[in-house]
Amino acid sequence: MITTDEILDQLEIMFPDAHCELIHKNPFELLVAVVLSAQTTDNAVNKVTPALFESFPDPKTMANADIKDIEDKIKRIGLYRNKARSIQNLSKSLLTSFDGNVPQSMKDLTSLAGVGRKTANVVRSVCFDIPSIAVDTHVERISKRLGLAKVYDSVEVVEQKLKRKIKRERWNKAHHLFIFFGRYFCTARNPQCNNCPFQNICKKEKLEKYKIAFDELRTE
């Protein structure tokens, strides 16, 4: 039986440069970028944030901006109107509650508009080097395919299981390794199964059967 450490060791060989691909220069920019990345690719976000941050480089300018101007900067990504409101509201909260600084605690981060556990964990990990595991769609899929979580586990349960099974000092790196593996190898629709080093432990078929059964129950 392969261990979690062995899985991570193999992923490090495959993706030695795994890192956060959202372009940012400071915690505020990353916080905004992660909020914008919901249901959108990092690549799409990276195309709109340079102009956005050139016009609104900090919480004060973002908070005081005309909402239409923010929308105009990000209209090429999905749900841009909702996201424009979120990043403006979180900017206002940063000013009123945190002196314009991005907080580090989970409680404070998730008090901000549009910020859930995943976004908070990304910021805590990347900007503040606080051991965290952010579970996005890639991390969830990989965790379940590799048998580190059950197919029916919620995102919150997946996070807790990964924290138990992965050594704390590897949490931050594991997050990026799982994302790179899910984004560039074990993709949702066309994974490279024939070349995968984890074929013997893969639960992909079981996961797909569960999804089909779940979808059928929802349509009844």
For residue 118, indicate whether it is catalytic.
yes
Rounded to 5 degrees, φ, ψ at 21 are -95, 0
| 4 CB-side CA count, 13 A | 18
Question: For domain 27-128, which architecture applies?
Answer: Orthogonal Bundle (1.10)
For residue 75, indicate whether it is catalytic.
no
- Has this prediction a pTM greater than 0.85? yes
Of the chain, the end-to-end C-alpha distance in Å amounts to 39
Which of 9, 68, 72, 136 is the catalytic position?
Answer: 136
Which of 118, 150, 153, 161 is the catalytic position?
Answer: 118
Output the six-digit token pair for 11.
Answer: 């992923």
Give the closest residue to 61 by CA, choosing from 29, 17, 106, 103. Answer: 29
Burial of 165-175, coded b for 16+ CB within 10 Å and e otherwise, reads ebeeebbbbbb
**Arithmetic mean of pLDDT over the chain:** 94
Fold of 4-17+134-219: Endonuclease Iii, domain 2 (1.10.1670)
Measured CA to CA, the distance from residue 61 to residue 92 in angstroms comes to 10
pLDDT by position in tens, the chain (length 220): 799 999 999 999 999 999 999 999 999 999 999 999 999 999 999 999 999 999 999 999 999 999 999 999 999 999 999 999 999 999 999 999 999 999 999 999 999 999 999 999 999 999 999 999 999 999 999 999 999 999 889 999 999 999 999 999 999 999 999 999 999 999 999 999 999 999 999 988 877 776 666 565 555 5
CB atoms within 10 A of CB 84: 23
Domain spans of the chain, in order of start: 4-17+134-219, 27-128
